[in-house]
A and B are shown apart, each in its own frame.
Chain A
Amino acid sequence: MTRGDTGMVAVLVVLFMTVLLPVGWILIAFPAEPYHVLSGEPVRHAAEASGVRLAHVTNITWQLPGAMGGKSYLLEDAEGHTLVIQTQTFETAESRDAAVVTFSAQSVGKGRTIGRLMVIGHQIIHIGPDPGGIFARLAPELRKMRSAG
């Protein structure tokens, strides 16, 4: 291999690392949520703990492989703002992770997705558009449940 070729290879390696370093570091810094069966209803618990009213609750099942059903919560604060949060349990870690990939692929344009996901155990929690800032009140409780694992 000539000196020029070695230089070219070095350039390629640097370019790869330019992409892989941030991607790799982020993947390590924010690892996957462990899969475990979660008892109870985290959203109901968080809403009650934070004083947000549950206006309406229905059962739903997402049309995704491995989805075992969950709830759709309509939450309402004292000012009349509403927020729809859906939960869904998954039978395996693989089906849960595939659902996360599916959701992440639904970004608007080249931006982000509408709404957010939170993964706790075998549950995925989808937080819809939140103009009233209701989720900020529930988030500490949900984070506690997530870190309690």
Chain B
Amino acid sequence: MSDESAVSSRTGMTPPKVLGIFALAMINVAAVLSIRNFPSMAEFGWSCIGWYILGTVLFLIPLSLAGAELATMLADRGGGVYAWCKEAFGEKGGFTAIFCEWSNNLVWFPTVLAFIASTLAFALSPSLGTNSLYLFAVMMIAFWGTTAIAYFGEDISTKFQNIGVILGSIIPSILIIGLGVWWFVSGATIVLPPFSPGQVVPVINMSTLPFFATVILLFAGMEMAGFHALETRNPSTDYPKAMALSALIIFGCTVLATLAIAFVIPAKDLSLASGVMQAIQYFFSAAHIPGAVAPMAVLITIGGVVSLAAWLIGPAKGLGVVAEEGNLPPLFNRTNKYGSPVAVLLIQALIGTFVSLLYVFLPSVNQAYWILSAITVELLCIVYLLVFASLIKLRYSRPDAPRPFRIPGGTAGIWIIGGMGAAGVIFSFIVGLMPTGDFSADEIIAYVGGILIGTFLLAVPPLIFLKIKKPGWIGAGSSKEESP
């Protein structure tokens, strides 16, 4: 009996099989596809294609293939990256992977929440963007509202995400692409220089290394569907198809919408410092439909909320499985009648609220934000390094395990895919420690120290919990909630 089967029998919970190919794909699309990336990348002109291809080859394809193989191989396990890494490296590896995936969110939540609030302000009244009380109120409504949706289980949250991702990510992307096509065929001036293959090649040097590292993780979140394996109808067949579908939607929308913006807005007018909505405003004004800006702001806000939901629910579910297996104190092991890990969701919401409070009400701490975003990147790199290492290791430790989806090419294929992904995230981890020019020599030690200490503190709790683990933690806690 697998651990998870054992857990199910203990808790009496059998997750409903509600997810098909489309729903799984939309979970990934919600986590990865973001309109806010487009104007930033459009500033690179034609070379954005080259950067996207680099991100696709070094990360999107390896992670999609790794996720497809691991999720179908371990289709009866809940917990996503936890189950995958645990199978390869034991509880320490699995717990560390899922905890890093969860803890990086705690630092990242205020960023996406601030994006949601400032984008909505653009639709309501831009002056609200400087009102800390407004910002905090909207951030909390989005955060606790999404947590409440997660409380009602897979069925409700999946419907919310399916509708939300179509409204907030896919429709705005298609609108931008459509306007770009209209701009092109109507004979309006294309602000990009005439295309030549050489312009697609990105410039890679010491100055662009931090951006290179950012591009590698541009598609982070492709593993998100893996957290929902137990709720998937036919994981062995549906999961690979969902990965392929989501990768195609994400890559297609991202590249085409970015180019559409680059066609219309000169790079010097992409005032990225003043936000994505300014670029969208310029874009729609140029297309003579300024009235579409406010509705677009609402749609992009919805896109931000579903992205938040994807990252909020997936890792919490994973940590819920860890708690069910008795690797966390019983306090964490509360599952409600909808099958949601309520204790993890509540603790996550409380910590996220406190960090958001600091984020909004502390005065301008520009360098601190930069360091916190670096910590997010470093923790994600640890997760993905463990995933790619698990992919390779399991081919050796469990060579004969059934793999409904198997990365082709035998040992060479697995080393190429896993090796490329691992090399990409190791590179991103190292580059994440490099300070930018605005840090003085005196500040560099604090910068690197801050990132390393912060990353360590946010990654190390699993080792402590496993050290103090008690046999009584297994199965404790869950009985306090009503089971169906």
> What residues make up the interface of A, taking CB atoms closer than 8 Å to B?
7-8, 11-12, 14-16, 18-27, 29-33, 60, 62-67, 72, 74, 84, 86, 88, 93-119, 124, 126-133, 135-136, 138-139, 142-143, 146-147
Contact = CB atoms under 8 A, between A and B. Distances in A.
Interface string B367-382: 1111111111100100
Nearest to B210: A112
- Smallest CB-CB A-B distances: 7 pairs: A22-B454, A139-B437, A126-B273, A97-B364, A32-B363, A62-B274, A133-B207
12 contacts: A8-B330, A22-B457, A102-B129, A103-B273, A104-B111, A108-B37, A108-B218, A110-B377, A111-B214, A111-B218, A114-B41, A127-B437
Interface in B235-292: 267-268, 271-276, 278, 281
B416 interface: no
Given A62-B274, A117-B273, A22 B450 contact: yes
Contacts of A32: 362-365
A99 to B, nearest CB: 7
Interface in B369-425: 369-377, 380
A26 B32 contact: no
B268 A84 contact: yes
B274 A99 contact: yes
Contacts of A124: 273
Nearest to A67: B274
Contact of A29 (B107, B115, B347, B450): B450
Nearest to A138: B437
Contacts of B368: 26-27, 29-30
B40 to A, nearest CB: 4
Contacts of B464: 14
B440 interface: yes
Interface residues of B, number: 91
Interface in B34-75: 34, 36-37, 40-41, 43-44
A78 B165 CA distance: 47
Interface of B: 32, 34, 36-37, 40-41, 43-44, 103-104, 106-108, 111-112, 114-115, 118, 126-127, 129-130, 132, 135, 203, 205-208, 210-211, 213-215, 217-221, 267-268, 271-276, 278, 281, 311, 329-331, 347, 351, 354-355, 358-360, 362-377, 380, 436-438, 440, 443, 446, 450, 453-454, 457-458, 460-461, 464
Contact of B43 (A31, A114, A139): A114
- Residue from B206, B347, B367 having most chain A Cβ neighbours under 10 A: B367
Contact of A63 (B115, B278, B461): B278
Given A7-B329, A129-B43, A115 B272 contact: yes
Contacts of B440: 143, 147
A112 B370 contact: yes
A11 B329 contact: yes
A85 B27 CA distance: 38
A110 to B, nearest CB: 5
Given A26-B450, A30-B446, A15 B43 contact: no
A29 B211 CA distance: 25
A16 B351 contact: yes
A133 B440 CA distance: 16
B446 A72 contact: no
Given A11-B329, A25-B453, A113 B365 contact: no
Contacts of A67: 274
A145 to B, nearest CB: 11
Contacts of A133: 205-207
A85 B297 CA distance: 27
A106 B130 contact: no
A111 B376 CA distance: 7
B37 A109 contact: yes
B398 to A, nearest CB: 30
Given A96-B364, A105-B115, A108-B41, 11 more contacts: A16-B354, A19-B351, A19-B354, A23-B454, A32-B364, A64-B130, A84-B268, A104-B373, A110-B376, A112-B373, A130-B207
A97 B129 CA distance: 11
Contacts of B377: 110-112
A14 B103 CA distance: 14
B107 to A, nearest CB: 7
Contacts of A147: 440
Contacts of B129: 64-65, 98, 102
Contact of B271 (A11, A62, A101): A62
- Residue from A25, A27, A97, A101 having most chain B Cβ neighbours under 10 A: A101
A143 B438 contact: yes
A33 B438 CA distance: 13
Contacts of B126: 63-65
B276 A106 contact: yes
A108 B428 CA distance: 14
B273 A112 contact: no
A116 to B, nearest CB: 5
B436 A116 contact: yes
Nearest to A16: B351
Contacts of A16: 351, 354
